[in-house]
């Protein structure tokens, strides 16, 4: 049975992620300890709310250094994807984990669409990746977000919400999903299953 460690740092919807992984047969370990993160087979960084608060929690728990040192598969979910980038315009313009170049900006889809983006959007694959194995052109995912990551070389899949939303990103052993795979029915379950099955040495 594959084990997935979920970072429980007070800024993520940990329970729903845990239940989704357990339904797929994974053994789930919740932690806020750097020593446990260092030994994890694969790691999920969930996140909801403000980027500044999430980063303050990671710093207070001594987890930033452990996440930077982690060389096995890591998946950021929702705010967790945004934290993979360099900086966010939210609040005072906070520094994030800095794995992927670019600035997270406020979602501005135009007057016809509300912010935050809450609902189902279709995923458009940009390039193939093991995380997206079995995800087709008619598959939808469930989004809840008011900020958006920059589109660029790291983008694996996009959604449209009055403009481009990088829905899945990757750099090396670090992936991100802007949507909530744990709330995205069959498509989300497929993505989580793919993550569970990634080899520990996965990187590009």
Instruction: List, in order, residues 6 or more apart from 37 with CB less than 8 Å away.
Output: 5, 7, 31, 43, 63, 66, 67, 70
Q: Which of 146, 79, 88, 142 is nearest to 115 (CA)?
A: 146
**What's the rounded Cα separation, in Å, for the pair 145 and 113?**
13
Helices (H), the chain: 14-23, 34-39, 51-60, 63-69, 79-82, 185-197
**What is the token pair recorded at 177?**
């999903």
Which residues are the active-site residues? Answer: 78, 180, 182
């Amino acid at each position: 049975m594959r084990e997935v460690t979920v970072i429980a740092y007070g800024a993520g919807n940990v329970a729903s992620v845990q239940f989704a992984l357990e339904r797929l047969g994974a053994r789930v370990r919740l932690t806020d300890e750097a020593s446990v993160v260092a030994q994890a087979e694969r790691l999920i960084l969930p996140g909801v709310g403000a980027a500044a608060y999430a980063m303050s929690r990671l710093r207070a728990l001594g987890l930033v250094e452990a996440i930077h040192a982690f060389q096995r598969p890591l998946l950021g979910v929702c705010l967790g994807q945004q934290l993979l980038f360099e900086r966010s315009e939210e609040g005072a313009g906070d520094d994030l984990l800095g794995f992927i170049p670019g600035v997270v900006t406020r979602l501005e889809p135009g007057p016809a669409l509300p912010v935050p983006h809450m609902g189902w959007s279709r995923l458009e694959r940009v390039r193939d990746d093991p995380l997206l194995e079995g995800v087709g052109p008619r598959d939808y995912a469930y989004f809840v977000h008011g900020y958006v990551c920059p589109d660029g070389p790291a983008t694996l899949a996009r959604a449209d919400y009055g403009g481009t939303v990088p829905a899945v990103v990757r750099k090396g052993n670090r992936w991100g999903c802007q949507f909530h795979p744990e709330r995205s029915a069959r498509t989300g379950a497929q993505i989580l299953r793919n993550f569970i099955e990634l080899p520990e040495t996965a990187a590009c």
